[in-house]
Amino acid sequence: MLRLSCIDYLSDTNELQSMASSTIPANFYRVEDHIHSCFEHDNNAPYDSKAMRYESVVRSTLYNFVMWGTTPSDYARFAREALSSCKGTILDVGCGGLCHTARLYAQSGRNLILLDYSIVMLRLGKARIEKLANPFPANIQMLHADAFHLPFAPSSIDNVVSFGVMHLFKPKQEYVSSLLGVLKLGGRFFFTSLTTDRSLSRLYIKYLEKQQELTDGLSSAEVVALFAGKTTTLHHKTIGSMVFIWGVK
């Protein structure tokens, strides 16, 4: 694998360093301005090679309305509601290129850790924020890391959000457990996931499964069931074939 072009070990005074798990080495490396990584080498994530194509699709109002019965404004509204409900640091897992959240994040003033497994996606997100805020907001940190091996101590994060990511993975229960595992007791969480609730969406998900773009499509009820027994409060709503889930651990 290729070594990242610019690697400097982060000082132990960094906020990310202070949150690192004692059981996972806190080896954060500087990739470039405003982006740090848990990986010493380039991990060549699947979405690195198709980031631009993926972005052009998920930003499309027509695509979202026809295939999922939603609009990008539904996603932005839920993200806005999430930020307005949270106090303290917010960890966004699978933040992607921030196509629906960049403006919200750039203007929020909240302490944000934006995490993705794709370095290309993080660079797209960084570029979007830079267009909206100059200088780059000091309250935003971008982290190249693995959602299934989060480099934070258990119950150390104030709030966790994950928008439109869960449906990409086969071990969905493990994904939920990983994210809720780093969330503090009493912390808030916000998730969204595509579902098989609509017939057209169900057929399209089967196609995407064959293309290895999605895995094991679930109904909204099955997605919500993944959170059973892990929270003190749990709420959900469905728009088209997108389920919106939120609550308190």
Structure tokens at 215: 């895995």
What is the distance between the alpha carbons of residues 195 and 204, in angstroms, rounded to a whole number? 11
Angle in degrees, 0-180, between the axes of helices 51-58 and 119-132, rounded to the nearest 10? 60
Q: How sure is the predictor about 16, in pLDDT bands with cuts at 50, 70 and 90?
A: low
**Per-residue model confidence (pLDDT) at position 219:** 96
Q: Which of 30-44, 85-99, 149-163, 230-244 has the lowest mean pLDDT?
A: 30-44
**Per-residue model confidence (pLDDT) at position 15:** 59
Q: How sure is the predictor about 231, in pLDDT bands with cuts at 50, 70 and 90?
A: very high
Q: Which of 43-57, 168-182, 224-238 has the lowest mean pLDDT?
A: 43-57
Cα–Cα distances (Å) from 101 to 34, 47, 118, 208, in that order, read 17, 19, 17, 25
CB 138 within 8 A of CB 109: no
Higher pLDDT, 52 or 31: 31
Q: Which of 24-28, 167-171, 175-179 has the lowest mean pLDDT?
A: 24-28
Alpha helices in 137-198 (DSSP H): 172-182
Q: How sure is the predictor about 7, in pLDDT bands with cuts at 50, 70 and 90?
A: very low
In which order are the strands placed within the sheet that holds 157-162? 29-32, 35-37, 140-144, 112-116, 90-93, 157-162, 183-194, 242-248, 233-239
Q: Which domains does the chain have, with CATH numbers?
A: 15-248 (3.40.50.150)
Residue 129 has pLDDT above 60, yes or no: yes
Quick one: what percent of the chain has pLDDT higher than 90? 69
Residue 210 has pLDDT above 80, yes or no: yes
Mean per-residue pLDDT over the chain, rounded: 87
Cα–Cα distances (Å) from 119 to 125, 150, 203, in that order, read 10, 16, 31
Query: Quick one: average pLDDT of 116-141?
Result: 94
Per-residue model confidence as pLDDT tens digits over 62-93: 999 999 999 999 999 999 999 999 999 999 99
Highest mean pLDDT among 26-40, 141-155, 180-194, 197-211: 180-194
Q: How sure is the predictor about 213, in pLDDT bands with cuts at 50, 70 and 90?
A: confident
Nearest residue to 246 via CA among 229, 234, 228: 234
Higher pLDDT, 181 or 52: 181
**Per-residue model confidence (pLDDT) at position 80:** 97
**Per-residue model confidence (pLDDT) at position 24:** 37
User: How many Cα neighbours within 13 Å face the side chain of 107?
Assistant: 8
Per-residue model confidence as pLDDT tens digits over 21-50: 443 345 678 888 999 998 876 666 666 666
Structure tokens at 41: 């080498």
Residue type, 220: S
**Per-residue model confidence (pLDDT) at position 31:** 87
Residue 115 has pLDDT above 70, yes or no: yes
**Per-residue model confidence (pLDDT) at position 232:** 96
